[in-house]
Amino acid sequence: MTQSGHLQIKRRNMEDQTMRTLHTGACLCGAVKYSIEGDPKSSIVCHCKFCQQRTGSTSAFLIYFEQDTVKSLEGQLKSYTHVSDESGRQIVIEFCENCGSPVTWTLDLVPSWRGFEGGSFDDNSQFSRNTHMWTDSCHPSERFAEDDVCFPKQPPFTTEQLESM
């Protein structure tokens, strides 16, 4: 393992041999730990009121992976199901039952993906923070770079479009 908290592991594929990154992380107290192999499907910063309340911050750093790339998710998690007032879709949030840190979630919109809190990774420096959603409700002091991609509300993608990314 490197000091940055991730390591390269080789995985043999019938067609080719590739290097895949192993991402690791944990909740605040360390009782919940996880490892994920491969690249994320998406990373985005969300500024919606729900994420602000859920995280206790002005935004949430969301990292999405295919469900089958999650190699381990250990520890006692509690869950909370929230129904979006905008879309009516469910999000099931899982958090450490000991320290209360949000760790992971699943969405009705993209059932084949699992989201992880960007701040819970041992090394989150490799994930991009240049896409933002729900910027209409962001904190007034928030500033975006010129090349950032910003959506005033939910990005207009369908389940099929997202799953094919």
Q: Does 1 reside within a domain? A: no
Tell me how many domains the chain contains. Answer: 1
Q: Does 129 reside within a domain? A: yes
Q: Does 46 reside within a domain? A: yes
- Quick check: pTM over 0.85? no
Over residues 30-37, mean pLDDT: 97
Q: Does 11 reside within a domain? A: yes
* Chain centre to alpha carbon of residue 130: 14
Q: What CATH number is attached to the domain comprising 82?
A: 3.90.1590.10
SS3 of 100, please?
coil
Q: Does 150 reside within a domain? A: yes
Phi-psi region of 18 (alpha: psi -120 to 50; beta: other; left: phi over 0): beta
Q: Does 58 reside within a domain? A: yes
Q: Does 104 reside within a domain? A: yes
Residue 15 has pLDDT above 70, yes or no: no
Q: pLDDT digits over 69-93, tens only?
A: 999 999 999 999 999 877 788 999 9
The reported pLDDT for the residue numbered 159 is 62
**Domain range for residue 149?**
6-163
Angstrom distance (rounded) from CA 47 to CA 134: 5
